Amino acid sequence: MAYSAEFRCIAGCPGGYPLDQVIYRCPRCHDLLEVVHDLAALRDRSADAWKRLFAERWRSLDEPDGSGVWGKHEWVVPQLARTHVVSMLEGGTHLTPVPKFAAALGLGDVRVKQCGTSHSGSFKDLGMTVLVSMVKGMIAAGKPLRAIACASTGDTSAALAAYAAAANIRAVVILPRGKISTAQLVQPLAAGALVLAVDTDFDGCMKLVQELADREGVYLANSMNSLRLEGQKTVAIELAQQLGWTVPDWVVIPGGNLGNVSALGAGFEMMLALGLIDRRPRICVAQAAHASPLYDSYRRGFAPLEAVKARPTLASAIQIGNPVSFAKAVRALRAFDGVVEIASEAELADASALADRDGLFTCPHTGVALAALTKLAARGEITRDHRVVVISTASGLKFADFKVGYHEGTHAEVPAPRYRNTPIELPEDYDAVRTALLRGL
């Protein structure tokens, strides 16, 4: 394949590094790296030819072409041989209309991109299939890598453990002992990951995993690793494809470490550069009010990041006070005329429950995005003639406690759940059941 991509420093230091080199940060200035593609080579196919190729592969029975990520292989990690690809047919997720939700907000066309309808239940699969496939290729080429490690406790570790198990590579999850519930860890435990519970906090785990990566031949899967963003980028391409290669007016996405919004921006930029679309959507990043350093910066004209101590939130996957990909996210927001919104616990829980009434089962992070959309609609910033796509990041099935607590009314921060629904308890008596039925319909 004549297509190629390499790592480069986001601060613009000279030099590129092969994608199969073990490197996480710029060796000159220590800033983040990003994957840069040879766009001139990709122009050997016209925009229409790319669209036809992507359409042929969309949900194809041929593996891994039917994967939403590997159907776009040339735009993701072009030099990786197909034989190393570790895929579970991730991506290709539904763009579900939510007409009742939209009507309640006074909006017209609102759809939810269901990235959580995926192998391990979150969009993290889209990045992890790429990272694990690259490591499989590196091991096959003789690189001395013993395992892949991360310090996440939620969706990243679940995705890493699953894809590493499928690739027959050891996965290591490092977590602060006593601070994580077994339920949060059951996916990596089930997949046979080596789980190390260390007497420290999350930052301590992060430090340890980085040192292991530097010294012990363990590959780092945390989100400073920009390989993951190349897979996540396909969400932008998919949703444009699903809209007949048109661009929505707005995309609303929840943000924590801010890798996913950076990937979203990168996907749209690549489509623009190669002529598949002709304009940018506006982007709204939605943060939990309990963990909103990007919002604070946005309010001050994108002032430099001031790390905060994130408070507990129902949206636990975005309880992050010092986001790794802050600089990339600000760059995307500036390019996409972006805004940042926040949601309280009650706002995110009610928005999530309202969207469920359209047949979804949304996670709390999706609730944060839906609550942000509610606010933008109320302010008149988003109106009835705008087409909106909300990125749903995980399956609500992974967050059963959140749902149960909402409908049982037991979340302290959501004292009056607006869309609460509880069972009507009845005796075994036809008239009583009939009365309840007629009253309830």
Ligand X SMILES: *Cc1c(COP(=O)(O)O)cnc(C)c1O
Residues that bind ligand X (CB under 6 A): 122, 124, 154-155, 254-260, 317-318, 363, 365, 393-394
- Single residue of 5, 9, 112, 160 touching Zn ion by CB under 5 A: 9
DSSP 3-state of 287: strand
Q: How far is the CB of 27 from Zn ion (least distance, A)?
A: 8
Calculate Rg over the CA atoms of the chain. Answer: 22
Q: Are strands 95-97 and 339-343 parallel, antiparallel or unpaired?
A: unpaired
26 binds, among Zn ion, ligand X, none (CB under 5 to 8 A by kind): Zn ion
Q: How far is the CB of 221 from Zn ion (least distance, A)?
A: 22
Name the residue nearer to Zn ion (CB basis): 29 or 39. 29
Q: How far is the CB of 156 from ligand X (least distance, A)?
A: 6
Helix, strand, coil percentages (3-state) for the chain, rounded to 5, are 40, 15, 40
Question: For residues 11-25, b (16+ Cβ closer than 10 Å) or e, as one string?
Answer: eeeeeeeebbebebb
Cis peptide bond prior to 364, omega within 30° of 0:
no
13 binds, among Zn ion, ligand X, none (CB under 5 to 8 A by kind): Zn ion
Name the residue nearer to Zn ion (CB basis): 25 or 387. 25
Name the residue nearer to ligand X (CB basis): 259 or 265. 259
How many secondary structure helices (H) and strands (E) does the chain include? 17, 13
Q: How far is the CB of 28 from Zn ion (least distance, A)?
A: 5
Alpha-carbon distance of 208 to 88, in angstroms, equals 30
Where would I find the beta strands (DSSP E) of 273-410? Answer: 282-288, 339-343, 387-392
DSSP 3-state of 392: strand
9 binds, among Zn ion, ligand X, none (CB under 5 to 8 A by kind): Zn ion
Cα 333 to chain centroid, rounded? 16
236 binds, among ligand X, Zn ion, none (CB under 5 to 8 A by kind): none
Q: Are strands 170-176 and 194-198 parallel, antiparallel or unpaired?
A: parallel
Alpha-carbon distance of 349 to 283, in angstroms, equals 22
Q: How far is the CB of 31 from Zn ion (least distance, A)?
A: 5
Name the residue nearer to ligand X (CB basis): 134 or 258. 258
**379 and 432 Cβ atoms separated by less than 8 Å:** no
- Single residue of 1, 29, 103, 307 touching Zn ion by CB under 5 A: 29
Residue ranges in 213-252 that form contacts with Zn ion under rule CB under 5 A? none
Query: How many chain residues bind Zn ion (CB under 5 A)?
Result: 7
Q: Are strands 5-9 and 33-37 parallel, antiparallel or unpaired?
A: antiparallel
Q: How far is the CB of 329 from ligand X (least distance, A)?
A: 8
Name the residue nearer to ligand X (CB basis): 122 or 187. 122
DSSP state of 108: S
Could you tell me which stretch among 24-32, 115-123, 304-312, 332-340 binds Zn ion (CB under 5 A)? 24-32
Residue 23 is a binding residue for Zn ion (CB under 5 A): no
- Summarize as ranges the residues that interact with Zn ion (CB under 5 A): 9, 11, 13, 26, 28-29, 31
